Every structure is written in C-alpha cells, then in structure tokens.
Amino acid sequence: MQLLDGKRLAKEIKAEIKAEVDQLLRQGRRAPALAVIMVGDNPASATYVRNKMRSCEQVGFRSVDIHLPEDTAQDELLRVVDELNSDPEIDGFIVQLPLPVHLDEQLIIEHIRPEKDVDGFHPMNLGRTLLGLPAFNPATPKGIVEMLRRYQIDTEGKHVVIAGRSNIVGKPLAAMLVQKASGANATVTVCHSRTKDLANITLQADILVAAIGKPEFITVDMVKPGAVVVDVGINSVPDASRKSGYRLVGDVDFESVSKKASWISPVPGGVGQMTVVALLENTLLAYKKQIYK
C-alpha cells in the first residue's frame, strides 16, 4: 500500500501558490483576498474556518473572517453577501455550511455572485462543472482530482465507484471524472443510501471514493485487491485515550483496507488537506479572473 499523502501534497501546492503571490507582490499588485462568513458557533465549522484562515496566511493571501451571531436574520446575511459581492478588494468568498436552520442555505448560495463563488456551490458553477466548462469546481472534488493527478493515478477507462451523492462531493465528483478530458474519462458509478448490495458494486471499483459520513463503514471485504481508495469522510468518534476525548476517523476502515489497497488516503491528512488547497486555488483563479473574464 502507498499513501495518498494529502498533507505532503498540500504543502507542495501551497509553496507553489506562495511563489506566485510573492511574484504578484513584487510587481506591486495587491494580494488575493478571500472572505469567509460563518454564522453561529458550530465547533466543527469553527475548526474548518480556522484552517482556511491559516492556509491563507501561509500562502500570503489576505483573509477576512466575518463571524455573525447564531440568530442573524436572513436579510442581514443577504446584506453581508451583497457587500462582499460588490467589494472590489475581495476576490472570492464562502459561506461556511451548515447554516443555522432558520436560514435558507440554497437561497443564500444563489445570492453569491458566481464570479466570487470560490466554493463552487452556486448552480452556475455546478452547471458549468457538469458541462465541463471553466468553472469554480467545488473544493473537495477538485482536491480529489488534483490528488489523483499529482500521484499519476490514471482515471481513463477506470471504474470509479463513489459512495455518497451529496451536492458538494459525490455529484460534482462524478461530473468531473466522467468528462471527456485528461484526468477524467472514467466510468463512474454513484451509490447512495438506497443502493442495493453496495459491496457488490464497491468490489468492482478500480478507484473507490467513500463520502458517506459513517465511521469506518467501508470494510476490507468491500474492496477489490489493488484498488485505489479515497476516503472523504471526517467523523469524530469517542476516544478516552485522547486529551480531547475524541479522534477523527474516515469512512474507510483504514487498518484492514490499507492492506488490500494499492493506494489509500488517510484521515486526517488526506482529502481534507486537499480541500483547503483547492479553495486557495479557486481564490487565485478568481483574482486572476481566469474563469469569468
């Protein structure tokens, strides 16, 4: 087994981005700028936002952290989105999900200007992703595709089985890998909670992507010998031996599956790291106006 080391790759890509930013600054241009809106105090979201801010700092981006109270009204949030939409000093911004239940997530996402939607969740960007047109691809699938590319794992003609059909991982990843393009050209099967006999399908996967949200759900008997296994899941499970009282595990039983797979991504240190880097890449694309001229 070889490790799909997201941590190592993220470091490498961040160094590349930093070199580009340093050059921009030397030319007297301003640094790319990313804003993150977070509503409420969801602890997992707070950790993700902190990681994003730290990553911006590492590559020399300006980051703006907009933290709004849990009871923020929809109109107020829309007003903040409007402000960022029209702020020429902000290249891209995201609204950290999930939002408190009184807020309409889809409405908020659709209020973001597609040119600044660096999470790639606006229907315009998701639609363009499906069509294979230049778009802000959602960060997690973009990070996975980049991970496979950098490890020279060929997807052409390969059977990719994706467990999970979310709008942020499963569906856009399927759209990206099925494109007639290099780094894609895969035969893609998407499985979900209503799929019958999941193991029968995952066993056919040359590349298996687990994005289910159930700790260690993919077991060794569900994986073909030599398969490439990409673990998207981030689940916290109780662990009395840790100071925090918990530890993070993926959707794949790493211990057993790693003995059968040819490549496998760990949790933490795998796809999560690539997701943050993909967000930075989208922000740089927004800054350079490379998607929408």
Catalytic residue numbers, as ranges: 52, 96, 119
Nearest distance from residue 162's CB to ligand NAD, in Å? 9
Q: Which of 68, 198, 220, 248 binds ligand NAD (CB under 6 A)?
A: 198
- For position 191 contacting ligand NAD by CB under 6 A, the verdict is yes
CA distances 160 to 19, 26, 117, 211, Å, are: 34, 43, 28, 13
Nearest distance from residue 6's CB to ligand NAD, in Å? 9
CA–CA separation, 222 vs 91, rounded Å? 43
From 153, 148, 227, 161, select the one nearest 188 (Cα to Cα). 161
- For position 140 contacting ligand NAD by CB under 6 A, the verdict is yes
Task: Determine the angle formed by the axes of helices 271-287 and 139-150, rounding to 10 degrees.
Answer: 110
Nearest distance from residue 88's CB to ligand NAD, in Å? 30
- Nearer residue to ligand NAD within complex by CB, 24 or 220: 220
Nearest distance from residue 251's CB to ligand NAD, in Å? 6
Count of other CB atoms within 10 angstroms of residue 46: 14
List the interface residues with ligand NAD, window 200-259 (CB under 6 A): 211-213, 232-235
- Nearer residue to ligand NAD within complex by CB, 85 or 166: 166
- For position 42 contacting ligand NAD by CB under 6 A, the verdict is no
Q: How many residues bind ligand NAD (CB under 6 A)?
A: 23
Chain positions contacting ligand NAD, by CB under 6 A: 140, 163-166, 168-170, 191-193, 195, 198, 211-213, 232-235, 271-272, 275
